[in-house]
Structure 1
């Protein structure tokens, strides 16, 4: 199945529009707070534009980019106060240093080349500008996406070892195959890669970025019945390494040096 089958579906974006109405997540609240103070904001992976319209005030120059022509057409029609531009998945169609705030919310897990995409986000960010990333932390050793087909115990052991020896500045996110099609879809059945906070922090530091704030959002994790998962949560909530990186959602604010 080609990506475009699901990501060019109007129905897909109608569902996305409804979910984007709500900004209850602490990461989204923080992005909105930062957007109030910005002058030029870019949303990477804007979909049909609802999230951008909820986050970025009309007094701020807001731009959204997306690889879906369907989504961009819907966004232009529904939210004319903002700029929406088609993105080919490679080079962002903006000049270097065009924005003082670039954010991506729940999009990293759908990328084909996250390293290159994040480098592009940094390129269009001005010096001292802020990059904010929010995504499911599917790459954490004890977690996985709906599309994961490997062995959970092997992933846990491998992930723990990588955390202890370090990622050496590489994202090294595991790729997965989408389960979704235009007739069958559940949340994140269109995942293509499993993001992880630990390797993301290491990668950003190699890209001339200073980490301002980060979290794996253990506070919003759903209660677990299994003892081992309760133990991970207990250790993570107490900010013990590497368990503090293993929460449900990665969130990073980084400044371009």
Structure 2
């Protein structure tokens, strides 16, 4: 059964870790919990996009192989959030580029209410937790660059769905993620082209045209045919009318008186 990467990283946000993040950013613990919980799937979704190409998959695998021994949590506890953030800033800038990281930090800062610099600092301190978890999963499962990329891509929809809607809207508007709703995009069949002036339904589909009424078949001369009995009846009526007319025109001959012989 495949592991849930977002769930594994989120489990690292213990009360002690949240307290250090909150102190580093100068915000309360509840705000730090909300902001860090939203930052984790944001970074994971961005990494899953990065490994969509062989070059990106190799770049991530190379970066993870260069990680120093020890857990990011140990680095946070021993050296503090400032040192962890410096490490994370270098790692994320190397993966995404400085401009992308700035844009992502601005979106997270607006969502968390920490401003642009606070959003970038949050990215920097949470980034090592995400990348450290990916490196550990790659080593434990013996995955190469393609195997790790497949694992990330298979959970892309889950990662995007875990991003709060307010933050997801900002990231989508910036072109950093592709919102998928419930992980699917439905493509309805396109309706046939509609003629000008033709009525349409509210969804834009044209109304079905009514079929013309069925007409009787045409005769040999091209006129529409009619039942034979009807033709015979009409012809008989015409003949009867003609006979009546001729009889009415005849004048009866009067006979004169006969002479007696």
Q: TM-score, normalised by structure 2?
A: 0.23
Of the two, which has the highest radius of gyration?
2
Question: Where is the strand percentage greater, Structure 1 or Structure 2?
Answer: 1
Q: TM-score, normalised by structure 1?
A: 0.23
